[in-house]
Structure 1
Amino acid sequence: MSTILITGADLAAPALELLRDYDIVYAGKTPTEDSLVALCRAHDPVAIIVRYGKVGAAVMDAAPALKVISKHGSGTDTIDKVAAQARGIEVVAAVGANAAAVAEQALALLLACAKSVVELNDRMHDGHWDKSTHKSLELGGRTIGLVGLGAIGLRFARMADALGMRVIGFDPYARKLPDYVQSVDLATIWRESDAISLHCPLTDDNRGLLDAQTLAQCKRGVIVVNTARGGLVDEDALLAAVRSGQVMSAGLDSFAVEPMTAGHPFQHEPHFVLSPHIGGVTSDAYVNMGVGAAKNLLQVLARSGAAAH
């Protein structure tokens, strides 16, 4: 029986049912390259479902039977796609499977920043009553700039429109946008947005997209939300911008290095609302991503003639 390697400790039951004709091997919650190489050498999987960790050339070379690498989610930046292509290994992703979950997290972070939810909660628990001194930001009528208009970005755009926000967006690949999303260039995003939310994949071209230069082009007091990839943001530049007031508040669900370790400069820093890259981690998205990843790899294996045996 052929083997499928899961770079995680579990997979949703409906996904496992789809893969019932295969042996399933789990790599655990924090797989290293060495552990993945060892598992590939031991089991020679025909497919890998990527949840955690990175899959590069060394892992691929340890699995001669490997036909497909299937991402448990939409972002494939943890997979070396150039190495995969060179070896004839197909890379697929469960695009849109967690769109609702991530868009809701982006909205939660936006509202938390605009309404000082975390700061006021802490003050209340310490016995303060800031009614006479605090003023939060009203989002209705203000402009939200979205970088990336895929499934997640468009879902978030619909929510922002429902709040009465003006929605502008940049995505060179987007087609047939809804009438409430105005397509603009990046310069317009920086210049006109009262809040900016990132929803694009991480590539070599956009790494450090939000840096000192682009943040300086933004309106003073802009809100920054990132539920995409930490590498899109120059973290030192963002910290400086928040401290100076150029950025009013930052709501972040992803970071340059994950997991975040003790002593990270964002920790205990006011005006940062942080969550541990859980935007796509809901009970519904867990099932949707698992099923999507399973269906995608089965389609590739069927085409390649490497179905279960």
Structure 2
Amino acid sequence: MSVEGKPAFLVTAADLAPEALALLGDYEIVYAGRTPSEQDIVDLCARHNPVAIIVRYSKVGAAAMDAAPALRVISKHGSGTDTIDKAAAKNRDIEVVAAVGANAQAVAEQALTLILACAKSVTELNERMHSGHWDKATHKSLELGGKTLGLVGLGAIGRKTALMASAIGMRVIGFDPYASDLPGHIQPVDLDTLWRESDVISLHCPLTADNAKIINEKTLAACRPGVIVVNTARGGLIDEVALLKAVSSGHVRSAGLDSFSQEPMAQGHPFQGRKGFILSPHVGGVTSAAYVSMGVAAARNALNVLARHS
């Protein structure tokens, strides 16, 4: 409880959209800063005893939950809840909610951007041009029309990516054991078929114990030579050592990655400076519009849970 007598909302970041803050006038807002550690979250929970946590960065584990006996809800500023210890929350009757779909357009656009950048050698040609080269006579890019895009995960983001890819003439296949009522431009397949038939593979599933490192030495070997791999989901979905080997050998034409096993990426990571890797710092869902929609959804989701407990 704050000194003002208002219950506290802890935001694991340095800011929240004004539109979201407008919904939280009855609460004290406590910010954890730009790059909070897990221990920072624990300490702030102990100091402020929040009734809700809006999770943007860092992890929220059992220690933080135990430090905040008033905590009733942990609300993700986005769709992926792998940074929240959901088993610990369930054991403590703390609800975990997510802003599912709030950043779907933004992440789908990032996925398509990475697909196009990989197929058209955008970053490589840009660097060559800035160095004074003119590679028109020697360069051949990949035309995506008629090629097959394989989507692992067919939730809101995967479906938007499918629609965009279909619009540029790609055949779209996808795997998702939980998806139903798929639109006609997505052909459902099993994973073996997806690895075998895809020219481009894009990951759009949550990270779970069952699918960790779903892209690995074995699954990459089953893919077509020259496949493009794109990940705008979670870094833990990829065995990074296996991907590095596959890109270096040329079996994978290029990889467009927006998420990584360890974030932020440390200086000296083996992907850095390597030909065949296009990297972005997990910004797929970071647009002005998504910032507002995720913040508002996270605030509303938390308030809905608190209303049920009042």
TM range (shorter): over 0.9
Other structure's SS at 1:24 match: strand
Q: 1:159 aligns with which of 159, 164, 167?
A: 164
Pairwise CA distance, 1:37: 1.2
In 1, the alpha carbon distance for the partners of 2:35 and 2:200 equals 34
Percentage of matched positions with identical amino acids = 72
Pairwise CA distance, 1:171: 0.3
The runs of at least 4 aligned residues of structure 1 exceeding 6 Å deviation read: none
Other structure's SS at 2:10 match: strand
Q: Does 1:201 align with 2:218?
A: no
Q: Which string of whole-angstrom CA distances, capped at 9 and with x for unpartnered residues, describes residues 181-222 of structure 1?
A: 000000011000000000000000000100000000000000
Gap regions ≥5 residues in structure 2: 1-5
Q: Which string of whole-angstrom CA distances, capped at 9 and with x for unpartnered residues, describes residues 104-161 of structure 1?
A: 0000000000000000000000100100100000000000000000000000000000
Other structure's SS at 1:224 match: strand
Q: Does 1:301 align with 2:309?
A: no
Pairwise CA distance, 1:32: 1.3
Match in the other structure for 2:44: 39
Q: Which string of whole-angstrom CA distances, capped at 9 and with x for unpartnered residues, describes residues 273-308 of structure 1?
A: 000000000000000000000000000000011xxx
Scaled by the length of structure 1, what TM-score is found? 0.98
1:91-106 alignment, distance < 5 Å = 91-106=96-111
Q: Does 1:244 align with 2:249?
A: yes
Q: Does 1:272 align with 2:286?
A: no
Match in the other structure for 1:78: 83
In 2, the alpha carbon distance for the partners of 1:250 and 1:233 equals 11
Q: Which string of whole-angstrom CA distances, capped at 9 and with x for unpartnered residues, describes residues 239-296 of structure 1?
A: 0000111100000000000001110000000010000000000000000000000000
Q: Which string of whole-angstrom CA distances, capped at 9 and with x for unpartnered residues, describes residues 8-59 of structure 1?
A: 0000000000001100000001111221111111110000000000000000
Q: Given residue 97 of structure 1, which amino acid in structure 2 is its aligned partner?
A: A
In 1, the alpha carbon distance for the partners of 2:88 and 2:264 equals 25
Q: Given residue 268 of structure 1, which amino acid in structure 2 is its aligned partner?
A: G
Scaled by the length of structure 2, what TM-score is found? 0.98
Q: 1:286 aligns with which of 286, 291, 295?
A: 291
Pairwise CA distance, 1:60: 0.3
CA-atom RMSD, angstroms? 0.4
Q: Does 1:177 align with 2:210?
A: no
Q: Given residue 248 of structure 1, which amino acid in structure 2 is its aligned partner?
A: R
Other structure's SS at 2:201 match: strand
Gap regions ≥5 residues in structure 1: none
Q: Does 1:192 align with 2:191?
A: no
Q: Given residue 173 of structure 2, which amino acid in structure 1 is its aligned partner?
A: I
Q: Which string of whole-angstrom CA distances, capped at 9 and with x for unpartnered residues, describes residues 223-248 of structure 1?
A: 00000000000000000000111100
1:207-218 alignment, distance < 5 Å = 207-218=212-223
Q: Given residue 206 of structure 2, which amino acid in structure 1 is its aligned partner?
A: P
1:3-82 alignment, distance < 5 Å = 3-82=8-87
In 1, the alpha carbon distance for the partners of 2:189 and 2:201 equals 13
Q: Given residue 258 of structure 1, which amino acid in structure 2 is its aligned partner?
A: E
Q: Which string of whole-angstrom CA distances, capped at 9 and with x for unpartnered residues, describes residues 56-79 of structure 1?
A: 000000000000000000000000
Other structure's SS at 2:22 match: helix
In 2, the alpha carbon distance for the partners of 1:155 and 1:29 equals 30
Match in the other structure for 1:112: 117
Q: 2:233 aligns with which of 228, 231, 234?
A: 228
Q: 2:147 aligns with which of 142, 150, 169?
A: 142
